[in-house]
């Protein structure tokens, strides 16, 4: 039997989507209080857990620290949408968390993206042409 455990991380960052029309609110530089939920899925090990939460923190925290209080347009090699941010985060942490199953990026309390890592259908960044 597999179980999924999650750990949530938070950071503040600015970004803009300059490829959108100038009249679109996301065209201008603005900020979000992001929430990133990282899930790992695996068997309940003999020690009683799927993975130590501190191992998840150790794997993810350096990436979150790179993003915190930054302009995402200066870090990501793509449009700074929540979708691309999720893909980028997976690329940064997947090698550190072999049981990584899902990354969720919440841009606002009502808007989020869920990337199912195990689906094998990881998208590519949408970048400027």
Catalytic-labelled residue, pool 26, 27, 35, 92: 26
Cα 90 to Cα 18, 30, 82: the distances in Å are: 24, 24, 12
| Residue 69 falls in the annotated catalytic set | yes
Catalytic-labelled residue, pool 27, 35, 69, 78: 69
| Residue 55 falls in the annotated catalytic set | no
| Residue 47 falls in the annotated catalytic set | no
Rounded Cα–Cα distance for residues 67 and 14 (Å): 9
The number of beta carbons lying within 10 Å of the beta carbon of residue 8 is: 11
Catalytic-labelled residue, pool 19, 27, 92, 107: 107
Strand partners, 8: 37
- CA atoms in the 13 A half-sphere facing the CB of 37: 14
- E strands, 16-116, are 30-43, 70-71, 100-108, 111-116
State the catalytic residues. Answer: 26, 69, 107
């Amino acid at each position: 039997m597999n179980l999924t455990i999650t750990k949530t991380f938070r950071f503040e960052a600015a970004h803009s989507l300059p490829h959108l029309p100038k009249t679109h609110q996301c065209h201008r530089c603005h900020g979000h209080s992001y929430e990133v939920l990282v899930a790992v899925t695996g068997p309940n090990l003999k020690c009683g857990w799927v993975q130590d939460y501190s191992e998840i923190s150790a794997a993810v925290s350096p990436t979150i620290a790179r993003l915190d209080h930054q302009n995402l347009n200066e870090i990501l090699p793509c449009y700074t949408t929540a979708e691309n941010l999720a893909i980028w985060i997976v690329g940064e942490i997947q090698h550190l968390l072999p049981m990584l199953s899902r990354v969720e990026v919440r841009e606002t309390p009502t808007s989020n993206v869920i990337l199912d890592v195990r689906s094998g259908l990881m998208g590519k960044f949408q970048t400027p042409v």
